[in-house]
Amino acid sequence: MNLLIKSATVIDPNSPFHQQVTDILIQDGQIVQIGNNLNAETEVIEAAGKHLLPGFFDLNCNIGELGYETKEDLATGTATAAAGGFTGLAVMPNTFSPVHSKAQVEYLVNKAKGNLVAIVPLGTISHKREGKDLSEMYDMYLSGARAFTDGDHPVQDAGLMERALLYATGFNALIFSYPEDIAIAGKAKINEGEVSTLLGMKGIPALAEELMIARDLYLAEYTNSPIHFSTISTARAVELIREARRKGLKVTCDVAAHNLVLTDEALTGFDSLYKVKPPLRTAKDIDALKAGLADGTIDAIVSQHTPQEVEYKNVEFEVAEYGMIGLQTAFSLALQAGLSIEQIAEKLSINPRKIIGAEAVAIAENSPANFVLVDTNNSWTYTKENNLSKSYNSPFIGQTLTGKVLLTVNNNQIFKARNYDRS
């Protein structure tokens, strides 16, 4: 893959060309030269006014393979990721059966080999995600898993979580905690507050998330282990993690892109496309999440891409499945939330790789070409036609969004947005 990108603004703190307008020459998938007024007999992309960032990396992506290929498979999931600017995905083990052995990790690694989008399988903490016995974590680590989580099943047993933290620390793996105390959350479907009262529905208190965060912070401190919290959503959660970082605990966290722009008021029409977990919270929570991103308390933004077949969403709200697809909209939603392009590079490209222990990416000479070219001012309409997922469960389909991914490049391969004019 040979390419010359002209007059792009590089946004990459790891690059000597950070915030410079420059040309980038790629030959056979390598960046061979960066500078002004470059020329080459190859395809040319005019990128004046556009930004070039390291490829995005998603720490929370659900792809149905193994077992739920009708929702999404590796081929459609990685195509969707490339369209959203992602060159790496940490894939949740929420499959059938769950990814709880080295054979399943090796299957995913081998099947995804050579793809534009790199796959990092996440193994389960517990066998079959049942929350009883530890899974084969070390064997999975040797096979390619770098972190462990029970996905959208919180580890309710504190003793099991303590053992998992101690065990994973022994071989430099990371535990992801999905913070929800199910004894508090119960069978409620939406955030507890004015909207749940208005709709006459039981609510999930913010306390359910915050209690689990407090518990796991104590366990991480006791075991002297690193811990990562997936998809935090409340103001108090941000404060708990902020205080833990002040104390020197090895804690990181992320937030789902849709939790930065949608409040529980979107649920007044009982539209199941807005049914997600953690639930949509309040404007006050969103303000706190944005403040957490700004001061570094929240390390990363994730898509929490969760495809569902239409028959699991086009039903009554109470029985509909949770989740929305989000790989193609994460960048636009980050812009909508008010993040600068520098913050987006940090939260979508750089920090996720640090957290998962993936190889760092830099826009530099003699480095592999792994980047995304974006236009922060370009508006586009998300439609069923340009949605590359097998599933359509997104409330943003039919909406016009600002911020378009134009090119995604990695592993000597390229994705180009439809109708992108190039010279």
Q: Which residues of 215-242 are buried (b: 16+ CB within 10 A; e: fewer)?
A: bbbebbbebebbbbbbbbbbbbbbbbbb
Mean pLDDT over 97-103 rounds to 92
Instruction: Determine the residue type at 115.
Output: N
Unique residue bearing structure tokens 């239409």: 310
Which residues, other chains included, contact 340 with Cβ-Cβ below 8 Å and sequence gap of 6+? none
Which one-letter amino acid corresponds to residue 248? G
pLDDT of 311? 96
> Does 422 have pLDDT greater than 50?
no
CA 160 to chain centre: 26
What is the model's pLDDT at position 163? 97
Is 101 in contact with 77 (CB distance < 8 Å)? no
- For residues 136 and 144, give the distance between their C-alpha atoms in angstroms, rounded to a whole number: 13
Edge to edge, the sheet with strand 251-256 lists 147-148, 174-177, 227-229, 251-256, 300-302
What pLDDT digit, counting tens, does each position of 248-277 carry? Answer: 999 999 999 999 999 999 999 999 999 999
pLDDT at 420: 56
Q: Compute the average pLDDT of residues 117-141.
A: 96
Give the Cα separation of 69 and 79 in Å (integer): 14
- The third-level CATH classification (topology) of the domain covering 3-52+364-416 is Urease, subunit C; domain 1 (2.30.40)
pLDDT in tens, 291-344: 999 999 999 999 999 999 999 999 999 999 999 999 999 999 999 999 999 999
Residue of 159, 211, 219, 218 lying closest to 180 (CA atoms): 211
The residue with tokens 């998992």 is: 164
φ, ψ for residue 149, nearest 5 deg: -160, 150
Residue pLDDT, tens place only, 354-365: 999 999 999 999
CA–CA distance, 342 with 13 (Å, rounded to integer): 9
CATH number of this structure's domain 55-356, picked from the four choices 3.10.20.340, 3.20.20.140, 3.40.50.720, 1.10.20.10: 3.20.20.140
Q: Which of 57, 19, 53 is nearest to 363 (CA)?
A: 53
Distance CA 340, CA 358 (A): 24
Would you kindly state where each structural domain of the chain is located, as residue ranges?
3-52+364-416, 55-356
Using alpha carbons only, give the angle 335, 87, 251 rounded to the nearest 5 degrees: 70
> Does residue 421 register a pLDDT over 80?
no
Q: Dihedral sign, CA of 167, 169, 174, 180? A: positive
The confidence band for 423, taking pLDDT boundaries of 50, 70 and 90, is very low
pLDDT, tens digit, for every residue of 33-80? Answer: 999 999 999 999 999 999 999 999 999 999 988 899 999 999 999 999
Task: Give the 3-state secondary structure of the chain.
Answer: CCEEEEEEEECCCCCCCCCCEEEEEEECCEEEEEECCCCCCCCEEECCCCEEEECEEEEEECCCCCCCCCCCCHHHHHHHHHHCCEEEEEECCCCCCCCCCHHHHHHHHHHHCCCCCEEEECECCEHHHCCCCECCHHHHHHHCCCEECCCCCCCCCHHHHHHHHHHHHCCCCEEEECCCCHHHHCCCCEECCHHHHHHCCCEECHHHHHHHHHHHHHHHHHHCCCEEECCCCCHHHHHHHHHHHHCCCCEEEEEEHHHHCCCHHHHHHCCHHHCCCCCCCCHHHHHHHHHHHHHCCCCEEECCECCCCHHHCCCCCCCCCCCECCCCCHHHHHHHCCCCHHHHHHHHHHHHHHHHCCCCCCCCCCEECCEEEEEEEEEEECCCCCCCCCCCCCCCCCCEEEEEEEEEEECCEEEECCCCCCC
pLDDT over 70, % of the chain: 99
Task: State pTM to two decimals.
Answer: 0.96
For residues 64 and 356, the answer to whether their CB atoms sit within 8 Å is no
Q: 């109708």: which residue's tokens?
A: 419
φ and ψ at residue 90, rounded to 5 degrees: -90, 115
